């Protein structure tokens, strides 16, 4: 989807919200007119005031007449609010309650894009990228700690804390304040499952989240950079703007000068902007330093580090199914 199409889709979503808010206000107005007879008189008075404004001719007395009409409108509104309260309704029950108070669901404030429009653009861009991701969303409910029962007590307790920390991260997520997570551990220990469980919770809450392998994302960036591909839109901008970026399988991508430069740009830009990230890797810190150097290592180590312990759970599952037919919990 091209940038113009993403913008149009975002505007359609905002327009839908505006129409829903207006239809709901009309429904509430009809309800009040039926339940409170006195409100009908006040509503007619307010409409009369509005018509008076349209009928004022230019002249010396225009400003004074406008002040009088404004005073009448304020008095009628005040009486309506008191009437609503007296009948058990909120005083703002007849107001139009837009999703965004800044732009009244128009998408613009003083000719500039409202933050709500920017958010919708980021969400739709992320949706388009995630549709091409090789990863599928997971849930905390399908993550089973029983696969760590055979670990030493300290490591089993560490995995319980990792699981709890991931749930807390999802529950308390703040795009500007949650910080970054660096998940380190061998293959099949649950790093991808837990990071995608976080993604699932945040997507339900309306945050923009992008999740994919580092190799896949770098391949897309390379295609756009060298071949001027427009099929995916502006991927770099989308990676930098989303609320949470999840980079899976860090360290398995094809190593080139472009991939290193692009990876550093993404990491450094998001960290400098205070944007949240989750990075999953099978590499130790020394292996990261050897493969990527100090610049990228220092960026990654500024994250909260979650160490994963155990043996490949996928192998345990296959072994369990072969012997008992049990499907078990996903990892």
Burial tier of 187 (Cβ tally within 10 Å: 0-12, 13-18, 19+): middle
Angstrom distances, CA of residue 327 to CA of 71, 151, 199, 253, 316:
71, 21, 24, 31, 11
Residues in a beta bridge with 210: 245
Rounded Cα–Cα distance for residues 31 and 71 (Å): 27
The pLDDT value given to residue 328? 44
What letter does residue 57 receive in the DSSP assignment? P
Domains of the chain: 3-113 (no CATH), 132-324 (3.40.50.300)
CA-based R_g, the chain, Å: 28
Q: What is the pLDDT of residue 254?
A: 79
**Whole-number pLDDT of residue 20:** 96
Q: For residue 62, what pLDDT is reported?
A: 66
3-state DSSP call for residue 314?
helix
The pLDDT of residue 233 is 52
Side by side, the strands of the sheet bearing 304-307 are: 209-213, 244-250, 276-281, 181-184, 304-307
Taking only the tens of pLDDT, the chain with its 331 residues reads: 567 888 999 999 999 999 999 999 999 999 999 999 888 888 887 777 666 655 655 655 667 767 777 777 788 888 889 999 999 999 999 999 999 999 999 999 999 999 999 999 989 988 888 888 878 899 999 999 998 999 999 999 999 999 999 999 999 999 888 999 999 999 989 999 999 999 999 999 999 999 999 999 998 898 887 766 554 458 888 999 999 999 999 988 878 888 889 999 999 999 999 999 999 999 998 999 988 889 999 999 999 999 999 987 777 666 666 555 544 444 4
Tokens of 79: 């009486």
Cα–Cα dist 143/146, whole Å: 9
Q: Tell me, what's the pLDDT at 84?
A: 93
pLDDT of residue 25: 93
């Amino acid at each position: 989807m091209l940038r113009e199409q993403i913008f149009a889709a975002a505007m359609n979503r905002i327009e839908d919200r505006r129409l829903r808010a207006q239809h709901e206000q009309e429904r509430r107005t009809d309800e009040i007119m039926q339940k409170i007879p006195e409100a009908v008189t006040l509503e007619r008075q307010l409409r009369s005031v509005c018509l008076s404004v349209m009928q004022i001719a230019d002249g010396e007395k225009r400003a004074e007449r406008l002040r009088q009409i404004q005073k009448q409108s304020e008095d009628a509104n005040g009486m309506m609010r008191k009437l609503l309260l007296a009948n058990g309704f909120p005083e703002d029950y007849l107001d139009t309650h837009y999703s965004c108070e800044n732009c009244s669901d128009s998408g613009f404030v003083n000719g500039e894009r409202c933050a709500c429009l920017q958010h919708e653009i980021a969400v739709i861009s992320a949706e388009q990228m995630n549709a091409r991701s090789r990863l599928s969303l997971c849930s905390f409910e399908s993550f089973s700690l029983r696969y760590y029962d055979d670990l030493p007590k300290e490591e089993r307790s560490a995995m319980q804390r990792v699981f709890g920390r991931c749930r807390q991260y999802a529950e308390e997520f703040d795009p500007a304040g949650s910080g970054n997570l660096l998940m380190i551990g061998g293959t099949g220990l649950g790093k991808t499952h837990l990071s995608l469980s976080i993604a699932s919770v945040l997507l339900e809450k309306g945050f923009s989240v992008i999740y994919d392998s580092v190799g896949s994302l770098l391949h897309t960036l390379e295609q756009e950079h060298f071949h001027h591909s427009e099929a995916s839109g502006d991927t770099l901008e989308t990676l930098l703007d989303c609320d949470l970026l999840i980079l899976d399988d860090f360290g398995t991508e094809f190593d080139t000068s472009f991939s290193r430069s692009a990876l550093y740009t993404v990491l450094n830009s998001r960290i400098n902007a205070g944007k949240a990230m989750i990075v999953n890797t099978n590499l130790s810190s020394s292996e990261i330093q050897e493969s990527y150097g100090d610049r990228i290592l220092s960026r990654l180590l500024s994250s909260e580090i979650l160490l994963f312990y155990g043996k490949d759970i996928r192998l345990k599952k296959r072994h369990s199914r072969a012997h008992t037919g049990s499907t078990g919990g996903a990892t």
